[in-house]
Amino acid sequence: MGPEAERWQVVREIVESALELSTDRRIAYVAEATVGDAELAAEVNSLLESAEATATWIDRSPIGKVQPFTQELAPGRRLAQYEITDKLGAGGMGVVYLAKDERLDRLAALKVLTSLGETEEERRRFAREARAASALNHPNIITIYEYGCADEIDFIAMEYIRGVTLAQLLKQHPPPLAELLEIARQTAKALASAHAAGIVHRDLKPANIMIADGGLVKVLDFGIAKLARQSGDSSTEHNLLMGTPTYMAPEVAQGETADARADIFALGVILYEMAAKRRPFQGKDAMATLTKIVNEDPPRVDSINPAATRQLADLIAKCLAKKPEARLPSMTELAEKLEDILAPAATQSRRWLLAGASALAAGGLTLGISRWTTGPALRYELEAQKEPGQLPYRAAVTDTFRAGWKFRLRLYAAQPGFFYVLTETANDVAVIYPLSGEAAQPAGATVTGWYVFDQTPGMERVWVIWSEKPRELIAKPGRADQTRDAGIRNLLTRLPAGMAGELLQLRHV
């Protein structure tokens, strides 16, 4: 490793460690870490000032000498077909601008590299990685439009996303754990797609996960991503300098090559942070943090947060295994396990009612689920949305909902059939799904529309039914008349063969 690269490693470690401290502690830490080296202190403080303003920054370790980028791109400046309209943020190695693509008449986020002294090898390597990221096509991965160079300035053009990063979300007002786990699930889906294409992210962290205004999760900054099967890019020098220490896998911290299992470890760290509301490995500086990652096991999250289930704690512990081969074998499996946690299987229900038992006996049900079945297993996923434009989250029947919130159901059965959803009160029964009242084709899964909790506090009793053949009695949407009401209540009390059902009781205030 050359002296310039060694110098950059020192700068990087100080900056990364300082960013994890509060402002008052940060000042003292930087003063201590740079004592006797005014030039080092100035460089670190300059990077810290700009790094606060952005969610993510181009994270590349230089081989040659790094020259600071001092020329700000003013509104109206053009790079190729992109006209700069505003500055979105700045980081240690990059500045991000909002730009208009004059050729395609669309907005784009333009990330301008601030390293003007990179070697030709560095530029070729970055271009190769940018092309690899642009080849990914997944709704949860930021779309890279192009990598270009204009006026001797390297830039990456990507889709412009309006939203907040997971880092901002965790720092400001963390949402319920179920909502955070849904963010993690979408992140795992994105990375599973990247891994299937042979691309490892290598710098996954909350600042590189964005939640768009519409609720969709986007994984950002594949700027140091690596083609897993690519040769000629596995030197210890590169591996040591890449990634953020807090989320770095043990093998990467020890200079080994990062593969997909390093991303699994990083997402495990993020899951731990979501569930425990603190990081699993935190040292006084970057090297102390890496030492903990390599040598120490954090407390289980269910010992810190009672809301974290044993299933979730086991999953996180598996992701954080020191040996790569002891972790989950794939990001796809991690996404599937998160889906299981967010939507418990039928066998995890609180109470079973056999066919023929009364499901409507007064006082016979408490908050939660009751199930009766004479057909194949029926499974559901409950999704809720607090405000328009917010991210829907996988809810539990034990949650407390508020007036104006929405919910919908995803329904699954072991064999194709017909799905129905009804609401029931002491005064009436209403069919809310299907909406059309027309005969439907048998299906193994379906999703309902959104329903809104009204302004009257209480318990919503929602019946979910599967039938192997159409049931005219419950096919017509809307409130049932007196005769039909009695027939439906009788049906709910005693299911005939070839049907399965559940009663969900949802409390709202």
Catalytic residues: 203
**Structure-token pair, residue 317:** 């512990």
Half-sphere exposure for 289 (CA within 13 Å, toward CB): 21
Owner of token pair 């230089």: 62
What does residue 125 show for φ and ψ, rounded to 5 degrees? -65, -45
Q: Which residues of 303-315 are buried (b: 16+ CB within 10 A; e: fewer)?
A: ebbeebbeebbeb
**Structure-token pair, residue 154:** 């390297």
What residues have CB less than 8 Å from 305, skipping those under 6 apart? Answer: 177, 275, 276, 277
356 vs 372: CA distance, rounded Å? 8
**CA-based max dimension of the chain:** 89
Tell me the C-alpha to C-alpha distance, in Å, between residue 201 and each of 67, 272, 481. 26, 19, 58
Q: Which residues of 116-139 are buried (b: 16+ CB within 10 A; e: fewer)?
A: eebeeebeebbeebbebbbebebe
The length of the chain in residues reads 509
Report whether 233 contacts 202 (CB < 8 A).
no
Using DSSP's 3-state secondary structure scheme, residue 320 falls into coil
